[in-house]
Amino acid sequence: MQKVLGFVGMLGAMLLASCSNKNVIHISGQIENPGNIKVVSFYEGDRKLDSVFLADGNKFKFEREATQPRLLSIAVGNNKYPVILTPGEQLTFNADMFSPEDYKVEGSELSAVLKDFAPYKRRKEFVQDSLQSSFAQATSDKSSEEIESLRFAYLTEFKAKLAAYTQQAVAFAQKNPNLAGFYAMSTLDPEVAEKEILAYTDQIADKFTENRYVSQFKEEAQKLKVLAIGQPAPAFSSFTPGNKPVNLSDFKGKYVLVDFWASWCAPCRQENPNIVQQYNLYKDKGFTVLGVSLDNNPGSWMRAIKDDHLDWTQVSDLQAWSSDLVKSYRLKSIPTSYLLDPNGLIVAKNLRGKELSDFLAKTLR
């Protein structure tokens, strides 16, 4: 009887272990030539989940209870590797820090699929780092006005070069309607791929509902949607140089260019002649401009209005980057502009030069 009970007990333990393994995510591996690297860390989005020390032979193991697949990043020194850990799978990961890009993953089909996307992401990061380095060198001995002008030029180039990456990420996500596809979409830049991000967020509205990384992505997309094409522009009130209150709603019934600028912003001042020209051409055809300055010096602001012949309504709270509008309009740089239709809906963003003149000629002809 005792032998039978002992056997039953062992069988029960085996069954419990089997059930338990189905609710555990697991990864083990080895880091060759780690140098000064002593730990391997695991992130879910920006949140650090855990770190483990490299053991004998530079091996490591990580386990955690989970009831669904988790999209994590393995951080080894300055290198990060995306993996998808599915409960019950035994994922192995191996990398050599002499050649960190040539890592290996086994035991997880989705992680292997993610590895196929890695070259696209590396290329994007290379372009991004190259532009940032060039920008840093170009602005090392420049004035604040010259830096702002260069920033605009580099941002324009950045957006153009990332357009191809956006297409690659969208195609990958369409081919992989799973967490691997989600990872590709999560690497997109909202300033370049707003439409694609919002469309994808709608597609996964009811998917991956318990995944924290995905939840963060959806939350950020909702914030992005507030200022998306087709949405009503956030309401605000401010004051003219003569301290007259002005509401954004005062401009309903016309196409209005809400132009965020400042007297100290060189690219803003460079664009002003074009806005003046378009204003004079279309002010009698249902178009106007509302200038919103991020100045904090009223004298400089008013001199710039006069010198640049800005005859439309100008407002500012003179709080510069501390203005509430910086947060509500998610301003990261200026010039930034939103073109609103007569109902106050956003129909275009950051139209400058020929783009603005072409839009107005087509819309108000």
CATH classification at residue 325 = 3.40.30.10
Of 315, 337, 339, 312, nearest in space to 255 by CA: 339
Of 76, 94, 83, 89, nearest in space to 38 by CA: 76
Give the model confidence (pLDDT) of 327-352 as tens digits.
999 998 899 999 999 999 999 999 98
**Burial category of 202 from C-beta neighbours within 10 Å (exposed 0-12, middle 13-18, buried 19 and up):** exposed
Query: Is the same domain home to 254 and 178?
Result: no
CB 359 within 8 A of CB 353: no
Q: 321 in a domain, yes or no?
A: yes
Instruction: Give the contacts of 325 (CB within 8 A, at least 6 positions apart).
Output: 236, 238, 260, 292, 317, 331
Query: Is the same domain home to 19 and 102?
Result: yes
User: What gap in Å lies between CA 291 and CA 336, rounded to an integer?
Assistant: 11
Query: Is the same domain home to 155 and 179?
Result: yes
Residue type, 175: K
Q: 194 in a domain, yes or no?
A: yes
Over its C-alpha atoms, the chain yields an Rg (Å, rounded) of: 27
Query: Is the same domain home to 199 and 272?
Result: no
The CATH number of the domain where 44 resides is what?
2.60.40
Query: Is the same domain home to 215 and 325?
Result: no
Of 235, 272, 261, 252, nearest in space to 315 by CA: 261
Backbone angles phi, psi at 353, to 5 degrees: 55, -130
Query: Is the same domain home to 356 and 245?
Result: yes
CB 123 within 8 A of CB 102: no
Query: Is the same domain home to 353 and 264?
Result: yes
Query: Is the same domain home to 338 and 266?
Result: yes
User: What gap in Å lies between CA 145 and CA 166, rounded to an integer?
Assistant: 31
The DSSP line for 192-211 is: T-HHHHHHHHHHTTTSSTT-
Q: What is the pLDDT of residue 21?
A: 60
Domain boundary, last residue among 84, 107, 130: 107
Query: Is the same domain home to 251 and 334?
Result: yes
Beta-ladder partners of 24: 65
H or E, element range at 32: strand 24-32
Give me the domain span that covers residue 192. 121-225
Query: Is the same domain home to 301 and 185?
Result: no
Domain boundary, last residue among 60, 75, 107: 107
Q: 116 in a domain, yes or no?
A: no
Q: 112 in a domain, yes or no?
A: no
Beta strands in 279-342 (DSSP E): 287-293, 313-315, 336-340
Query: Is the same domain home to 347 and 248?
Result: yes
Domain boundary, last residue among 60, 84, 107: 107
Query: Collapsing DSSP states into helix, strand and coil, what is residue 329?
Result: coil
Give the model confidence (pLDDT) of 43-78 as tens digits.
988 889 899 999 999 999 999 888 888 899 999 999
Name the stretches of the chain with pLDDT < 70.
1-21, 144-145, 148-149, 152
Query: Is the same domain home to 102 and 126?
Result: no
Q: What is the pLDDT of residue 141?
A: 78
Q: 231 in a domain, yes or no?
A: no
Q: In total, how many domains does the chain have?
A: 3
Q: 113 in a domain, yes or no?
A: no
Give the model confidence (pLDDT) of 11-33 as tens digits.
444 434 444 467 899 999 999 99
Backbone angles phi, psi at 20, to 5 degrees: -65, -40
Q: 153 in a domain, yes or no?
A: yes
Prediction pTM value: 0.73
Q: What is the pLDDT of residue 148?
A: 60
Q: 232 in a domain, yes or no?
A: no
